[in-house]
Chain A
């Protein structure tokens, strides 16, 4: 059963957060191991497996990027595993330049500006996904998701860099 079906939601890119929570809570009320204390072992085992699957589904669908990747995979778009080499030369160039900029940023304000730019790009690319899914343009979906993944990772790097700058300032 796929994550959407497990939560009784339509397999869509723009899952409503409140609807997702509601579906998840209702099903956890039914399946959470706390509901099976004192029940026979096979029942508890079944509940535990179901609760774990629900948590996996919820976690995946909660995050917009994870959800998009998951939906793409359901639709037969194959993405390379996380952390694999980027095979898109344009993206590679963008990534290298951004990394350079981040490396050279010496103040929190500079890092923040880079992070804000990345967030903007993330939002824009996410928004663009909708029409690509409608058109079922698999190569374009793949390209966009790879870029989103990179942007997400870069945002994390920027966060790390910011923390590092912050703590260095704190020490001096």
Chain B
């Protein structure tokens, strides 16, 4: 993966470059997928015989054999629930720890024992299947649809991913394409693709925002459009916020109403699914009506529910506000003001909710652009990019890293190497040094996230740089390089500069992150920013103080006899004070104690220096010295 493509010549085959095969754009969505093609700058979604562009991202492995994708697969859910899988995108690149978050929410049966060290597998149709294989079936179906519509082989594609897809999920998406027989020309972030679809259509210039609210995720991105250049300035989002939350709110209320009416329901998975389906239907009705009603039947007992637009708005207002808060932070990140925005593009089915539209309009101060179908716009943009990459084009897409990448340093502090919103591809390096005399190895722990402490970020990879030659603490120069390619994939390497000892690692994510963790990681940084800063400063003070103690101990071991008992006593007392301070939580006290110790140890340092000079001079004749002075 990642930079291997750069470092290994001839690695990526391009068997059909420039030949008759076509390149398409694919929006591989959680709920629905779309395939589109662009010709001469005009993108169009490819439809089935019935004229439908959306392919439900549902895969069935029917008992009779074979694989079915889309509407027919969904239709099979009721009869063969164990052979049908939906929303598999949520599991792309995820491991065991992620399952607690989705357990009970999504109807997955997990293959026992998987996901400990690699991606989880699902038990579907009596077999263990990985999310990559299942996604590949969706991609194969899209490829077939495209080939049928275009009457030509389709072997290359631009595939879109959420801006907030991490390294693991991006790699899994690429792998799925490979399994489906598609060469990925580029992974493009969904909001960027949407902007592309709008921008080229309109020949617009200026600052544009993309507000993308899907079923389960939210993204907000800022792009600058200028003479065919699409420059992403900043992007942000929440991987656990979307239209599904709206459905849940309605469903919960209906179940509550039944309880109030004295109906004793057993709320099992089936009941929740039924309620959610009705909730979704009512939500959709409210997009162009002021009232919606529905009949909910659980275990043969019916109930009737009505919901007004105003009532619905009140239920989802908090979610919508959260999206607006995130949007404001992204603006802040890019040092832009609302007034700078020329237009805002709406993406995702959930932007059909009137409250969402009005909230966005209120924030930006102008009506959002909605003339491209929000369900198709991402695929259309991907198709344009596919054409640009294969046919040549004047369009240039400059994207950024959505999440900061960094390393763990002493005390569990994160040192950010690639800050979020850095343009990609990028290669950034930072030098680190050893902490102890004679240290021969250094553990490199790569993390992703915005928080200051390692425990609050996602762990991506760990490796060790071995064979550092013995040097005094702080003398080694270890350069750690982070390279992020144009697909947003990371490679990390480390090298000890004075000796050239090198180590390179492909970042294999440790799959330790739940859906909720992900959301927390991204946006709790807001709530914790100050606390983080305080903790960081405290930890830094401790690390610095411990470093001083280590140096002092080493000096005492070597030259301790230079001190009188009284001097030694004073030094020990100052040393003890600092140790106590380190154990405490008061940064000012640590700094004060460190300073006191420094003052106390100054005479000792001078004595050592004198001794050093004496030793250097001992055994030299006066004439030697004179010779030296003359040099």
**Residues on A facing B (Cβ under 8 Å):** 21, 25, 28-29, 32-34, 37-38, 40-42, 44-45, 48-49, 51-53, 55-56, 58-59, 83, 85, 157, 159-161, 163-164, 167
Contact = CB atoms under 8 A, between A and B. Distances in A.
A38 B428 contact: no
B426 A45 contact: no
Given A48-B486, A49-B427, 8 more contacts: A29-B396, A32-B398, A34-B486, A37-B390, A41-B5, A41-B11, A44-B5, A44-B6
21 contacts: A21-B226, A25-B229, A33-B425, A34-B486, A41-B5, A41-B9, A41-B12, A44-B6, A51-B425, A52-B425, A53-B427, A55-B424, A56-B427, A59-B426, A160-B533, A163-B526, A163-B530, A164-B530, A164-B531, A167-B526, A167-B527
Interface in B510-532: 526-527, 529-532
A167 B5 CA distance: 44
Contacts, number: 94
Nearest to A62: B423
B359 interface: no
Interface of B: 5-12, 14, 17-18, 185-186, 226-227, 229, 231, 332, 388-390, 394, 396-398, 422-428, 483, 485-486, 526-527, 529-533, 540, 544
A117 B582 CA distance: 34
Contacts of B14: 38
The DSSP consensus for interface residues of chain B is: mixed
A163 B483 CA distance: 32
Binding site secondary structure of chain A:
helix
B529 A52 contact: no
Contacts of B10: 40-41
A55 B544 contact: no
B17 A32 contact: no
Contacts of A167: 526-527
A33 B529 contact: no
Given A32-B486, A85-B544, A167-B527, A45 B423 contact: no
Nearest to B11: A41
B396 A28 contact: yes
Interface centre among B185, B186, B398 (most CB of A within 10 A): B398
Nearest to A156: B533
Given A37-B185, A37-B390, A42-B9, A25 B396 contact: yes
A59 B239 CA distance: 27
A163 to B, nearest CB: 5
Contacts of B483: 52
Most buried by B among A53, A83, A160: A160
Contacts of A49: 6, 427
Looking at A37, A58, A85, the one whose CB has the most chain B CB atoms below 10 A away is: A37
Given A48-B6, A83-B540, A157 B486 contact: no
A45 B226 contact: no
